[in-house]
Each structure stands twice: as C-alpha cells, then as structure tokens.
Amino acid sequence: MKRPFEEIVAEHGPTVLRVCRAVLARPDADDAWSETFLAALRAYPDLADNANIEAWLVTIAHRKAIDLLRAESRRAAPIAVAETRSAVGGWEPSDGDLWAALGSLPTKQRQAVAYHHVAGLPYAEVAALVGGSTDAARRAAHDGIRALRRRYLNSATVPPQKES
C-alpha cells in the first residue's frame, strides 16, 4: 500500500538533503533536493509498492546531482575549495571547513561517502550507482572518509598559523 507523498518527504527529505549536500560539497544544495523531490512526486504513483523508497530517492538525487555538477563545471571553475577559515581562532572546525574538505575529494569518493555513510546504502548498491565493482565502491568510501578525517579534523586540532 502506497503512503501519502507528504510522509515520504517527512521521512526521507532530511537524508536526501544531506546526500545532496555531501555529493555537491556545498550547503546550498537546494536545487538538487527540489529537482529530486519534484521528479519523485511525478513518478511516485507508478513506483512499485514494495520498492525501497530511500534507495529510489537516492538514485534520482544521484542523477540530479550529476546534472548540476556538469552544469557547474561547464559554467566556470571547479568547485571552489574555499579558504573560509579565519585568520584568528579556528580551533573548532567550521562548516566551511567541511565543505572545503568534501570539495577536495574526487567526485566518486564524495558519492561513495554520501550513498554509503549518509544514505546507508550497501556497497553493492553504491557500486550500481557510481559504476565499478563493490570493492571499488568500498575503497572509494574508505579513502573518502580517511581524507575527510585528515582535512576536516586537522583543521580542528591544529590552530591556523597566524599571519603577520
């Protein structure tokens, strides 16, 4: 039995927003989320009743995010790896550090991290989305998390050099 789409938005909307943000490496991933849920609303009546809704939504979000990434790379520079840390302070990692750290990862690692560690998809399903083997998906997620720990958490533990 299909549930009202409002319940789908309430239950899966936050996860899909986090996936979009992680894949696009920016907090303003609203376009990807909006396009995903509008497309999902359109297709929802035809979705099989026993479908895995979150996996279905992540698949749509994956395609929408790729479209946006392509459009962005056509438009201009690669995703900005912003220097957002202020010259003073900075003992705590800021959101800017997180997006910068994510933005420095190869797309495939960001996708693997988002689909496995945010959406909770098993590696086999991650591989089906991003291409390549299950092992490659596992490696990409693992390497992505390791790089994030290094780049994001180091910004927390090492105070920035004060420029004079």
Partner 1 sequence: MINFSDPVLAAINTDDAEAMARLHDQLAVAAEVDRLLDVAYRTVDSPLGTLLLAATDQGLVRVAYDREDHDQVLQALCNQISPRILRAPRRLDQVARQFAEYFAGERRDFVLPLDFRLAHGFRRAVLGHLGLINYGHTETYAEVAAATGRARAVRAVGTACATNPLPVVVPCHRVLRSDGKLGGYIGGLEAKAALLSLESGGTIDRNILSR
Instruction: List residues near partner 1 by CB under 8 A.
Output: 1-6, 9, 13-14, 17-18, 21-22, 27, 30, 33-34, 37-38, 41-42, 44-45, 93, 95, 98, 102, 113-114, 117-118, 120, 145, 148-149, 152-153, 156
Structure tokens at 154: 């180091």
**Which residue lies nearer to partner 1 by CB, 28 or 162?**
28
51 in Cβ contact with 6 (< 8 Å)? no
Q: How far is the CB of 45 from partner 1 (least distance, A)?
A: 6
**Which residue lies nearer to partner 1 by CB, 15 or 72?**
15
Q: How far is the CB of 122 from partner 1 (least distance, A)?
A: 9
Among the listed residues 108, 115, 110, 147, the one whose alpha carbon sits nearest the alpha carbon of residue 131: 108
CA-CA-CA-CA torsion sign (34, 39, 45, 48):
negative
3-state secondary structure of 49: coil
88 in Cβ contact with 159 (< 8 Å)? no
CA 30 to chain centroid, in Å, comes to: 12
Q: How far is the CB of 151 from partner 1 (least distance, A)?
A: 10
Q: How far apart are CA 157 and CA 164, in angstroms?
A: 21
Q: How far is the CB of 4 from partner 1 (least distance, A)?
A: 4
**Which residue lies nearer to partner 1 by CB, 65 or 76?**
65
**Which residue lies nearer to partner 1 by CB, 5 or 76?**
5
